[in-house]
Amino acid sequence: MARPVIAIVGRPNVGKSTIFNRIIGDRLAIVEDKPGVTRDRIYGTGEWNGRSFSVIDTGGIEIDGEDELLRLVRIQAELAIEEADVIVFMVDAKAGITNADEEVTRMLFRSGKPVVVAVNKVDNLQRMDDIYEFYGLGFGDPVAISGAHGTGIGDLLDAAVFKLPEKEDQTYDEDVIKVAVIGRPNVGKSSLVNAILGEERVIVSNVAGTTRDAIDTPFEKDGQRYVLIDTAGMRKRGKVYETTEKYSVMRSMKAIERADVVLVVINGEEGIIDQDKHIAGYAHENGKASVFVVNKWDAVEKDDKTMQHFSNSIRDHFMFMHYAPIVFLSAMTKSRLSKLLPVVNHVAEQHALRVPTHLLNDIIADAVAVTPPPTDKGRRLRVNYATQVSVKPPTILIFVNDPELMHFSYERYLENKIRASFDFEGTPLRLFTRRKSDQE
C-alpha cells in the first residue's frame, strides 16, 4: 500500500531540511548503513500516531541558470504540491510574512490541498507572540516550532497527520504480480509500457490507481495476471521534472511502494548516471524485487563483448543491488522483449519464497563450519539458530550470542551462502541478528 505524502514547502533558509530530518529521525541513516547506497536524499519516511507517511523535503533544490528567489520558491512549491496529500508550509517567526511567503500562499490556495502552517524559529516564550501575524495567511491555527531545539514537532505532526486522507488503495488478488516501471526522464519508460501492453493485446481495463496521475493497467499473459503501474506518462507543464532531475525520484516513489517487482529502466545509449542510482536505491530500500532493463539496445553499436561490458558497469555502479538480473531489449523494435516477463515471473516468485527452517539452519551450520566467525577482542560470534520471519522481501532472523559481534562482512558471507543454496535472484535478502535470549 502506498504511503500518503506530507511535503514541506517554503522559501529558502526557513529551516525545512532541519524539520525534515527531525520528522524522519534516524530512519535513513539506518537504511543507508550499507555500501553503495546514495545518501543524497529528499524523500524519507516517518510515522506518527500509528500512521506511516512519506515526507518530501523541498530544500536544497538547484536550478541551473535560475537565480531569482521567487522563481526558485515557485518551482519548489509546484513540485511538492503535485505530489503531496498534506502541505507543511514553513515560515520564519523572526522575518514575518515576506513577499515569497505570499507567493507560496497564493499557490497553496489554488491547489486546494490541506495546509498546516509551521512557524519556525520560535526558540523561546518571548517569540510566541510572533506567530499571530501568520493567522493572516488564511490557513487556520499556525503551529509554533523550533528546529534548533526540536520543540513543537509533535504538535506539528498531530496537525499534519490529522489532515491525511483515510487509508485506501486499489487491491488485487494475491496471485497478481504488480509491476512498476521506473527510471529518470527520457530512458524510454513510455515506450516500454506500450511495447509490453501492445504485445499482449489483452488489456482488461485502465483503472485509476491511488498513485496520483499513475494508471494501473491489468493484463494477462500465459495464464499469469499482472498489473502494470505506469508512471511513465506523467508530463507536467514547463517540463519542470525534466529540468529538475532530482524530482524524477518522486515520480516513482508511490509506484515502488505498491509494486511487487520494479523495472529499473536505463538508457542503453546514454549509459548510467547518478540519477539512475537514486531511483534504483529506493526500490532496494523498500525491499522490492527488481530487474534492470537496459532499453534502446538496438541503437547501441556493439560487438560480442558489449553486453558483458555494460553488465559489468551496472554491477560496478549498483553494488548494493548485486541480486538484480539484467535484461537488454529495445522497446521500439520489440527486440528481446519476450525475455522480460519470464524474468519478472521468476523474481516475483523468489521475492515470495519461504525456506523451511531446518533447511535454512543446515545451510547456516555448514557455512559456519567452513568459515568460522572471526574473533573480536578475544570474543567470537556464536551463531545459534536462524528462521525466516517474512517474505516480500525474504527476511531472516539469526540468533547469536552477541549481535555486536556480527561484522558486516560475515553477514554478507552468510547471505551469499544462503543465496547459493536457495537462489533469491532479483530480491533483496534481509538478515537481522538478535541475542539468543531475546527469543524467549
Q: What is the length of the chain?
A: 440
Q: From CA 1, how far away is CA 134, in angstroms rounded?
A: 36
At residue 82, what are phi and psi to the nearest 5 degrees?
Answer: -60, -35
Q: Is the peptide bond before 393 cis (omega within 30 degrees of 0)?
A: yes
Query: 71: how many CB neighbours lie within 10 A of its CB?
Result: 12
Which segments are annotated as binding site for GTP?
A: 10-17, 57-61, 120-123, 183-190, 230-234, 295-298
Which segments are annotated as binding site?
A: 10-17, 57-61, 120-123, 183-190, 230-234, 295-298
CB 345 within 8 A of CB 177: yes
Q: From CA 323, how far away is CA 278, in angstroms rounded?
A: 17
CB 9 within 8 A of CB 88: yes
3-state secondary structure of 223: coil
Q: Which residue has the cell 481495463?
A: 205
Indicate left, alpha or beta for 219 from its phi (over 0: left) and psi (-120 to 50: alpha).
Answer: beta
315 alpha carbon, distance to own chain's centre: 20
Q: Which residue has the cell 515520480?
A: 251
- Which residues, in sequence order, are CB contacts of 311 under 8 Å at separation 6+? 326
Question: Concatenated DSSP letters for 301-359?
Answer: ---TTHHHHHHHHHHHHTGGGTT--EEE--TTT-TTGGGHHHHHHHHHHHHT----HHH
Query: 419: how many CB neighbours lie within 10 A of its CB?
Result: 16
CA end-to-end span of the chain, whole Å? 32
Minimal CA–CA distance to 287: which of 430, 432, 415, 182?
430
Q: From CA 162, how far away is CA 105, in angstroms rounded?
A: 21
